[in-house]
Copies of this chain bind each other. A is one copy, B any other.
Amino acid sequence: MSSPYKRLKLSLETPVPSDYEISRKQTPKHITEVAKESGIEDSEVEPYGAYKAKVKLDVLDRLADRKNGKYVLVAGITPTPLGEGKSTTTVGLAQALGAVLGKRAFANVRQPSMGPTFGVKGGAAGGGYSQVIPMDEFNMHLTGDIHAVSMANNLLAAALDTRMFHETRQTDDALWKRLCPVQKDGSRDIPRGLEPRTKKLGLDKKDPRDWTEEEISKFVRLDVDPKTVTWKRVLDLNDRSLREITINQAPTEKGLYRKTGFDISVASEVMAILALSNSLEDMRDRLGKIVVASSKAGEPITCEDLGCAGALAAIMKDAIKPNLMQTLEGTPVFVHAGPFANISIGASSIIADKMALKLAGTDSQNPEPGYVITEAGFDFTMGGERFLNIKCRNSGLAPDVIIIVATVRALKVHGDGAPVKANQPLPSEYTSEQLDMLKKGCANLQKHIENARQYGVDVIVAINQMSCDTANEHEVIRQAALEAGAVDAIVSNHWGKGGEGAKNLALGVIRCAHHEYPIQKQNAGEHFHYLYSVDSNSSIKEKIETIAKKMYNADAVEFSPKAQQKLEEYTKQGFTNLPICMAKTQYSLSHDPNWKGVPSGYTFPIRDIKASIGAGYLYALADKIQTIPGLATRCGFMNVEVNKKGEIEGLF
């Protein structure tokens, strides 16, 4: 069959060279060609150099009448620190569907932070023969979206601290005079950005000249309680020295010392908003709703109160357009948004998914649906749960297929194999057949499958093949998967062979998306549904308990006094109707990274609860989560150089 994409040929080598060598050897197509093949019109493309482009949101309007293509979520089992290959599977599957099988197929992935790029982590572009290329452009600035997030986040921080400063130095009258100066005709010039505040205070229908002193005071004085400030500054680097800092120490700041800190940019609520917005207007509204602190009276202070939501939207107006790149085999990839998996949803953007689903969608000219493959960070039970209960709730979309990526290695860990660590030789059980250990470990896979099945979506297990695996081991996994209700379990070697290596997996996905597995007939009555409701009378506490019990297999949840207090505060402030983003370790189904397999009979602890009101969720922390990583003694950056041709060397 004719493929929509000119396939870029792979010249496979054994052993598989480094990711960067593979990327460098391939000559990508010009991005305008990829766009055209993807059904994007010239006027909708904004190239950023030869291999990256932003795509205008106009596509969504133009294709509004199409029925969406098939939506495939790639999730995983509880991983080891080596990673089990979700990104690689996402990209490899798109190569198989698009370049090998000739279907319309999009891989939708997150933009990686540059912090870890210069730390110790590998690239986030997939790996081996399943990659997004050029991988250096993917891992560096891309088109500047994360920089825009940093700027927007930090403008809000500067606006808040400056306002607090000016309020301590000025009377109500002086603030009023400066914020809203008297015009020649005697009227007051209220800046556009503060109009929402006039509305919030019910002053918008009254001429400012008629405002009472009390009304003026209420308008000009936010009266922020410095102890309640939750908004931090960000940068996109692993800078541990900024975790906790004291600001305002210059003499010009008159002794208003305040403890605060920096997060990594991808942990910013602005990044979560970018991922969860459905349109530019939606993003603008969410930016306005960000809560940065409370007033001394306990009222939430928002970005809108500071009058800078419009400016934040202006900074982000290009960032909201999805970025187009391509796989190693020349199929399209959307790279858009990258909220930090540790405290946020760890998934790429809703807008990119919607755009890809329309481009892969059906109408009278395109009767056969294409595929959009996207990934949820961490394991299914954390990342997949957030994807379904938060991202899908915000988008209104639902996946047609859930893929759970498993490796023999990780399942042996869950069967009591010795711990595995990065940059250290693997213990012998990982290089020899160990069927009993593996069988035991498969309980972890089964729990993830069962968890996914709770949402009414069909599951395929992708066994990500590694060189030491045996056929018997694959069969053990396959049987366990089918037993737990997966429609299929398919071995895939996209890392070593690109799309060709994932062809069987792709055929399984097509079959599943078209409900052609016999078991799917039995499930025919099932429909996608969320795990918990946000509209009902269910409290924040009940939602958290539902997730902990149904997903993590906990018996009960224990809330710390701090968490209790937050429960009360958010309930009082009216933030109960929001989904919950759980922040816990990714290395166990429970909160304890050492508990492998399927922990049971335990109490899940909630240490603290925080709010991302603009993004639209509360997040509950089961542990102290580091929101800005550090650098090691030997860092990734020490290997990086630019050669005379201007090419980057030594990146991964």
Contact = CB atoms under 8 A, between A and B. Distances in A.
B241 A247 contact: yes
A30 B242 CA distance: 43
Nearest to A181: B634
A632 B308 CA distance: 13
A266 to B, nearest CB: 14
A308 B631 CA distance: 12
A47 to B, nearest CB: 5
A317 interface: yes
A314 B192 contact: no
A310 B49 CA distance: 22
A251 to B, nearest CB: 8
A579 to B, nearest CB: 27
Interface stretch (A90-98, A162-170, A584-592): A162-170
Interface residues of A, number: 90
Greatest chain B CB density within 10 A among A158, A181, A193, A242 is at A158
Contacts of A144: 141, 143-144, 147
Contacts of A141: 144, 147-148, 151, 315, 318
Contact of A310 (B252, B284, B640): B640
A367 interface: no
Given A147-B147, A250-B261, A633-B178, A638 B308 contact: yes
Contacts of A314: 136, 140, 640-642, 648, 651
A647 to B, nearest CB: 8
A166 B241 contact: no
Interface stretch (A74-82, A124-132, A231-239, A569-577): A231-239
A133 interface: no
B193 A240 contact: no
Interface string A303-337: 00001101101110110000000000000000000
Task: Tell me the interface secondary structure of chain A in the complex.
Answer: mixed
Given A159-B631, A178-B632, A236-B151, A646 B317 contact: yes
A638 B165 contact: no
A191 interface: yes
B241 A646 contact: no
Contacts of A179: 633-634
Contact of A637 (B157, B193, B250): B193
Interface in A236-279: 236-250, 252-253, 258-259, 261
A219 to B, nearest CB: 13
A172 interface: no
Nearest to A256: B241
A308 B48 contact: no
Interface in A85-119: 114, 118
A247 B240 CA distance: 9
B147 A191 contact: no
A302 interface: no
A50 interface: yes
Contacts of A194: 638
A593 interface: no
Nearest to A190: B638
A144 B150 CA distance: 12
B247 A253 contact: no
A625 B631 CA distance: 33
Interface in A138-162: 140-141, 143-144, 147-148, 150-151, 154-155, 157-159, 161-162
B311 A158 contact: no
Nearest to A160: B241
Interface string A621-652: 00000000011111111111110101011110
Contact of A644 (B48, B281, B630): B281
A550 to B, nearest CB: 34
A193 B308 CA distance: 42
Contact of A161 (B241, B246, B247, B635): B241
A318 B158 CA distance: 29
Contacts of A203: none
A54 interface: yes
B637 A155 contact: yes
A237 B151 contact: yes
8 contacts: A140-B314, A144-B144, A151-B236, A154-B235, A191-B638, A192-B639, A284-B642, A317-B642
Given A308-B640, A314-B642, 8 more contacts: A47-B49, A141-B148, A159-B637, A191-B638, A192-B638, A245-B245, A311-B638, A314-B648
Interface of A: 46-50, 54, 57, 114, 118, 136, 140-141, 143-144, 147-148, 150-151, 154-155, 157-159, 161-162, 165-166, 170, 175, 178-181, 191-194, 233, 235-250, 252-253, 258-259, 261, 280-281, 284, 307-308, 310-311, 313-315, 317-318, 630-642, 644, 646, 648-651
